[in-house]
Amino acid sequence: MSEPVLTLIERDFALEDLQGWQLTQDGKAIHKRFAFKNFVESLAFVNKLGAVAEEHNHHPDLTLGWGYAGVLFTTHDSGGLTALDIQLAKAAEKL
């Protein structure tokens, strides 16, 4: 069963707590680029986030390079942003 898509008000309220996260142009996803000192730190972050995502059976789109990791959350089954995306974005912040 898919998650319900957040209303515009719910989405805007949730984004107030997520420093640096931005909506995609279509409003169906959020993304952030995290900065790190080197590739090893970037990779470690991606691996930790991957483990958390796997626990929730919810998988972000990730990009990785020297000194950065990009994260994009959306719920494909629902066709947009859901509470689960927000929950995992908060988890990413704690990592």
What is the rounded CA–CA span in Å between residue 22 and residue 29? 8
Can you list the positions of beta strands (E) in the chain? 22-23, 30-35, 61-65, 68-73
Asked whether residue 52 carries a pLDDT value surpassing 90, the answer given is: yes
Does the pLDDT of residue 1 top 60, yes or no?
Answer: no
What pLDDT score does 69 carry? Answer: 98
Ordered by start, the domain boundaries in the chain are 8-94
In three-state secondary structure terms, 12 is helix
Give the CATH architecture of domain 8-94.
Answer: 2-Layer Sandwich (3.30)
Q: Is the pTM of this model over 0.75?
A: yes
Q: pLDDT category, 22, cuts 50, 70, 90?
A: very high
What is residue 3's predicted lDDT score, i.e. its pLDDT? 85
Q: Provide the angle, in degrees to the nearest 10, between the axes of the packed helices 39-55 and 83-94.
A: 140
At residue 29, the 3 state secondary structure works out as: coil
